[in-house]
Structure 1
Amino acid sequence: MRKLILRSGIALSLLAAASGGYYWWQQIRFFESTDNAYVEGDISVISPRIEGYIAEVAVGDNQAVHAGDVLVTIEDSDFRARVAQAEAVLLGAQASLVTVDSQITYQDARIAEMIAAERSANAELTRARQEFERNKKLIAGKIIGTQEMDDTTATKLKAEAEVSRISASLVAERAQKGVLEANRAEALAKVDEADANLRLARNDLEKTVIRAPIDGVIGNRAVRIGQFVQPGSQLLSLVPNDVHIVANFKETQIGDMQPGQAVKVTVDAFPDRPVIGIVDSFSPASGTEFSLLPAENATGNFTKIVQRVPVRIALKDNAALNGLLRPGLSVVVSVDTKSAADPRLAAGTGWLFGAAQAASK
């Protein structure tokens, strides 16, 4: 009996070892895990773009807000006055432009009048010249007297002088129109400048109301009513509801990883509620390359250290902990490197992920 029991035990041990080895060969060896992983989110630091005194703080700590909600209001009396001033300057510039346009219209009328006068003077000059030519023939035949010839000559000279005067006046009037057109261009530029200043003033007035750029939860609120703030000063942080996982795998673990593979995520705060994720992307460099003091390996006392590569893991939309995850929470991730590298095929390819998916439901 003892021999039978011993043999049975040995057989069961061998069977268990064989089953374990087979399972390791078929499943476990394709999983890469790490506990150096954390929940992260694209936290927005809210800062003012203008300086002023805080008039109202519309949100409290840990309050959920939606994109477009008012967070903070800066005292706007000075900015409203600047808008009114810019509007007045714009109205003055527009009035100057209207005045110049009226002057140009009047000048066009003057030019038209001078053109008509020039035509009339040319017609009179033509008549005077014709009469002068006739009288030259008549005086040669002694049909008319010298006095009449002198009058005709004077009339012709007067007509020529009139034509010259009107031509000079027409040139002067056209030159004056050129000056007015230059004045109009200047006035138009002032209108554009005033309009731009008005838009800037309105933009500054609009910046007195600080709104939430995304949906999220208020955190690290440091702003208070009556506080003087300047552009760039941190008022509060807005933590988004949409989070992801960053897992720092050893460089020896990422050889078979690729985007789209399935990931099991176990959150330390909720150990009994695993969720499914997908490998999204890999960092372009190891973590030490982005540190404040990167490692200098070109030294005589070099010691090889396994590097860590940050891997971004996207969570599925139907994650069981959707809305409960907070940036900074610790997680444990396990990547199935045997799974398909296609997001549409990467959901629960191994028994581990199937169990996680069932638990999430």
Structure 2
Amino acid sequence: MTKIFRSIATYIALFIGAAGILVVLYAWNLPPFHGSVEMTNDAYVRGQVTLLSPQLAGYLVEVPVQDYQKVRKGDLVARIDDRIYTQKLEQAKATLAAAEAALANSEQSRKSGEAKIASAKAAIESTKAALQAASTAHARTESLLEKNIASQSEAEKNRAAFDQAQAAVHQAEAAALVAEQDLNTIVVSRRSLEANVESARAAVRLAEIDLQNTRIVAPQDGTLGEVTGRLGQYVSVGTQIGSVVPDRVWVVANFKETQLDGMKPGQQVTFTVDALGHQAFTGHIERFAPATGSEFSVIKADNATGNFTKVAQRIPVRIAIEPQQPFTDRLVPGMSVVASVDLAQGDAAAARTAAN
């Protein structure tokens, strides 16, 4: 009788053990219970974390925000003492005003040069008219001298007046040429002055940018991380004073390469979040990484050895979270999730999800 009970107990123990093994195989989706659902717990919520750093050096005179505070694009996070940069802007504006004044003076010089050219041309016309009169008088005197009507002294006097008129014409033409060269010099100098004005304007713009950069603002809507900037702290270019995490998040699930057969963009994904009491969410596959995760590591594994052991690699899969789901506002980058993809949904479901 005792042997019978012992046999029954043995069978019961074997049955319980076999049932436990089957439960474990079923829970881990292993043969003979391997179905169409592929699952991984190597998955995390991801987001774009933007580090905030100044582009200038100086002392922080204002830090009006706190850790984990909601901010809008353009909200002030910290401000650097701007007295030096304000004075640099005023200095640049003064330099610009001087350059513009020099350019305006050059414009007046150009107009004066054009007036001198016009005056020189008028002088040429006047001297040519005088030369014509002197030439006529000289010719008439020479004719009368041949007829012994005019005296020799009068002929010499008209000859000298003719020579003087010719010299006056040459002098007027030379003055006009000098005036034209002076105008060309003014025009060439004006180009240099115009370049000085543009350089001064650029300096003003750079000073304005530096003054604006004393205000470190949120680049987009989101939530601040830990604010490390402190009032009175001296910061240099690149000093981290905080970070902004935008509200838009997604999931990156690292599936084994043996699980990817049948996965396509657009397929629906179900995932649970550990931090939210395994709250379930839905999403869809957006795209696959162009390489395995090990290829993006700083130190890559070298498997060219004699004792090589094949290890299934993991490929990151980006999963978009469907909007208008409860508790999606509580998803933050870094949370651990468990993602599942039912490969039996087929191409039609994937195409439908992608279209939506």
Measured against the shorter chain, the TM-score band is 0.7 to 0.9
Shift of 1:33: 1.2
Shift of 1:341: 6.7
Which whole-Å deviations, capped at 9, do the CAs of 1:297-345 have from their partners, x for residues lacking one? Answer: 2333322111110111111121222210111110011123334477772
Is the 8 Å Cα contact of residues 281 and 312 (structure 1) preserved in structure 2? yes
Corresponding residue for residue 78 of structure 2: 72
Shift of 1:28: 7.5
Alpha-carbon distance in 2 for matches of 1:344, 1:261: 8
Q: Secondary structure at the match of 1:61?
A: coil
Amino acid at match of 1:295: A
Alpha-carbon distance in 1 for matches of 2:266, 2:292: 21
Corresponding residue for residue 90 of structure 2: 84
Corresponding residue for residue 241 of structure 2: 235
Determine whether 1:44 maps to 2:50.
yes
- Among 318, 321, 328, the residue aligned to 1:322: 328
Corresponding residue for residue 188 of structure 1: 194
Count of aligned pairs between the two proteins? 324
* TM-score normalised by structure 1 residue count: 0.85
Alpha-carbon distance in 1 for matches of 2:37, 2:155: 125
Per the alignment, do residues 138 and 299 of structure 1 end up closer, same or farther by CA in structure 2, a change over 3 Å counting?
Answer: farther
Which whole-Å deviations, capped at 9, do the CAs of 1:220-256 have from their partners, x for residues lacking one? Answer: 3211111111111111111111111010010111122
- Among 278, 286, 289, the residue aligned to 1:283: 289
RMSD: 2.0
Alpha-carbon distance in 2 for matches of 1:29, 1:316: 25
Structure-to-structure mapping, 1:254-293, within 5 angstroms: 254-293=260-299
Determine whether 1:171 maps to 2:177.
yes
Alpha-carbon distance in 1 for matches of 2:100, 2:276: 67
Alpha-carbon distance in 2 for matches of 1:281, 1:253: 15
Is the 8 Å Cα contact of residues 264 and 350 (structure 2) preserved in structure 1? no
Determine whether 1:203 maps to 2:203.
no
| Higher mean C-alpha deviation, range 27-36 or range 193-202 | 27-36
Q: Secondary structure at the match of 1:29?
A: coil
Shift of 1:100: 1.0
Corresponding residue for residue 311 of structure 1: 317
Amino-acid identity (%): 38
- Among 202, 216, 221, the residue aligned to 2:227: 221
Which whole-Å deviations, capped at 9, do the CAs of 1:190-246 have from their partners, x for residues lacking one? Answer: 111111001000100000111111111111321111111111111111111111101
Alpha-carbon distance in 2 for matches of 1:165, 1:75: 66
Corresponding residue for residue 248 of structure 1: 254
Alpha-carbon distance in 1 for matches of 2:35, 2:270: 15
Corresponding residue for residue 297 of structure 1: 303
Per the alignment, do residues 55 and 344 of structure 1 end up closer, same or farther by CA in structure 2, a change over 3 Å counting?
Answer: farther
- Among 346, 350, 353, the residue aligned to 1:346: 353
Is the 8 Å Cα contact of residues 267 and 351 (structure 2) preserved in structure 1? no
Corresponding residue for residue 146 of structure 1: 152
| Higher mean C-alpha deviation, range 336-345 or range 319-328 | 336-345
Alpha-carbon distance in 1 for matches of 2:141, 2:119: 33
- Structure 1 residue ranges without an equivalent (≥5): 1-19, 350-361
Which whole-Å deviations, capped at 9, do the CAs of 1:157-179 have from their partners, x for residues lacking one? Answer: 00110011111111111111111
